[in-house]
Structure 1
Amino acid sequence: MRIGMEIVTYDWAGGPQRIADTLTAAARSADDAGFSLIGVPDHVWQSPPMGAVEQPFLECFTVLAAIAAQTSRVRLAPMVAGVHFRAPGMLLKQISTLDVLSRGRALLGVGVGWYPDEALGMGVPFPSVGERFAMLEEALRIRRQLGQGDDRPFVGEHYRLDRPLNVPAGFSGALPPVLIGGGGPRTLRLVAGYGDACNLYPGPDLADKLALLRRYCDEAGRDYDAIEKTCILPFDVSTPEATKALIGQLGDLADVGVQTAIGILAGPEPLRDVEVVGAEVIPAVGDR
């Protein structure tokens, strides 16, 4: 099993003047410790239940670019980009730029988004969930067309691109892989149709969701095994007992078929948490 992390708070000691230092130290430590991925939430307000909206929060792609400059191995991903925040062409340009500047380490996490108060508070339209699913599918179709080098006009219900052109597509010449966040049937169908990875939450129905994804892959003619199965969950390493319990939980997830576990590290000392995960958790689950 591979281990990733998601940075979900910036309310650290020292205030804004120390955020860059704390972020750099945690990212470098994760890179050195063998973390597989660093994810950053695509929000502009702190989101419940992580904290009050008035707590400090930073913009996703700017943070990812800063992390890219301080690391050399770890993958980098928005977790996950809300489709309502940006036009698909701009989102794809942002992720391909990150991929080039990180030398091929970008992963496009994308989903239908949530948190209407944040969007409307900042003047961003927030359509219904049904509309956002339709927008997401169109965005994935646009990504596929761009990936094929087809610059003919794209005309959909929600988006029109007169000339879909994105040069360079990415560090290797191809668009970065895409992770689609969410575990409902509609999302899993999109994963089977367009995704390189899924992102689920742990729970008693996790095995059922993976079985449903396998069925959708069969229907779509996709190789289920080619899709990376990721799971996101809080990592509590505050005590030796909590760390031991986490290792057991991760082992159970690996047994179900999860390949990458992404730990939500929400504590006030991110460097300390990263060091504990690197020293105790990664060695314990790396061969699962």
Structure 2
Amino acid sequence: MTIKLGLHIPNFTFPGTAKDIFANVVAQARAAEAAGFDTVTVMDHFYQLPGLGKPEEPMLEAYTTLGALAASTSTIQLATLVTGNTYRNPAHLAKAVTTLDVVSGGRAFLGIGAGWYELEHEALGFEFGTFTDRFERLAEALEIIHPMLRGERPTFEGKWYRAKDAINEPRIRDDLPIMLGGSGEQKTFRLAAKHADHLNIVGAGPSELPRKLEVLAERCAEIGRDPATLKTSTMVRACVAEDGEKARQLQRAHFAKLGVDLDALSPEERAARTAGQYVGTVDEVVEAIKSEVLSTGVGGVTLYLLGGDGNEPQAVRLVGEALAPLIA
């Protein structure tokens, strides 16, 4: 499993009513599949995230959505970016992603991270704990999940979780991939080196990627793993349109929804607010991703499109057809 070109769908605020939401998601996934994307991911959240919208904006439950997408697509890989470990019992999570793999005919993989959105935990009754707690829980969870995805029956007794001869049937393969998401060099990278097939480096800008890749190679070397066996990708945010000004209008609208007037900011403030975003025509965005991101040596990109104007499938098609040949 690897991600060369992934489409991330983190936003479910579209024109129309709640009945129209999933049709838009399907249209994006199908457009991605047709345009050369190899993966579609959704967030594992219950409230919309700060920086994308207000908590009360629409948010679909991840594994229900992915199961429905499995029936609406035929070749594209499906996963979360990423599952919050704190939201599910690890044996239950292993069962859920294995079922998704069966339903999709072998197109699922497990994306997982420690969990971080405190508001969701407090509001919905999930235990949040400290930063250390969450990574301890993730490390224990992987000791159960990893063998269950490989046809083993783990018995485990830890501080946070336990399992006894845990069965996971049916499966269609014994190597269902695991992807960790994050940029933490001490904890996330070590867990990725030990357990993962893929690492999506979230939260690191292009200038940080070369160092991140070097540290990841060091973490693999510490346990005698060949770094080439741990694939990598990174998140890229973009506003894309056939007309550059239209793309910039989409970016302004995105920030206006968050209560920020980009045109009223100083150049320094604007640069800080829009850091890591690629805005313009397809050619402009693709060239920037090629020169600033792919040139670092990262293996692939996961793209999410800012906007939410109802034209996402068209934008997905345009950027996918332009980017896919560069990272085939």
With the length of structure 2 as denominator, give the TM-score of the two structures: 0.82
Q: Match of 1:259?
A: 299
Change (3 A) 1:65 1:148: closer
Q: Identity of counterpart residues, as a percentage?
A: 33
Q: Match of 1:158?
A: 160
For residue 202 of structure 1, report the CA deviation from its aligned partner: 2.9
List structure 1 segments (4+ residues) > 3 angstroms apart after TM superposition: 147-150, 239-242
* Within-5 A mapping of 1:1-288: 2-147=4-149, 149-168=151-170, 170-172=171-173, 174-185=174-185, 186-200=187-201, 201-238=204-241, 239-240=243-244, 241-252=280-291, 253-268=293-308, 269-283=311-325, 285-287=326-328
**Deviations 1:4-61 (Å, cap 9, x if unpaired)?**
1111111101121211221221111111111111000000111111001111111001
SS in 1 for 2:193: helix
Task: State the AA in 2 paired with 1:279.
Answer: E
SS in 1 for 2:57: coil
SS in 1 for 2:240: coil
**Deviations 1:161-189 (Å, cap 9, x if unpaired)?**
12211112x322x1420110111111111
Q: Which runs of 5+ in 2 are unaligned?
A: 245-279
Which protein is bigger by CA-based radius of gyration? 2
Q: Is the 8 A contact 2:26 2:72 kept in 1?
A: yes
Deviates further, 179-188 or 250-259: 250-259
Change (3 A) 1:180 1:152: closer
Partner Cα separation in structure 2 for residue 280 and residue 14 of structure 1? 29
Q: Is the 8 A contact 1:84 1:125 kept in 2?
A: yes
Deviates further, 10-19 or 232-241: 232-241
SS in 1 for 2:232: strand
Q: Match of 2:265?
A: none
Q: Is the 8 A contact 2:149 2:168 kept in 1?
A: no
SS in 1 for 2:100: helix
Partner Cα separation in structure 2 for residue 147 and residue 82 of structure 1? 18
Q: Is the 8 A contact 2:4 2:233 kept in 1?
A: no
Partner Cα separation in structure 1 for residue 154 and residue 70 of structure 2? 33
* Superposed CA RMSD: 1.7
SS in 2 for 1:198: strand
SS in 2 for 1:180: strand
**Deviations 1:127-180 (Å, cap 9, x if unpaired)?**
211011011111111123324544252111110112211112x322x1420110
Task: State the AA in 1 paired with 2:8.
Answer: E
Partner Cα separation in structure 1 for residue 219 and residue 320 of structure 2? 35
**Deviations 1:178-215 (Å, cap 9, x if unpaired)?**
11011111111111111100111333221101000101
Q: Which runs of 5+ in 1 are unaligned?
A: none
Partner Cα separation in structure 2 for residue 25 and residue 192 of structure 1? 35
Change (3 A) 1:261 1:59: same
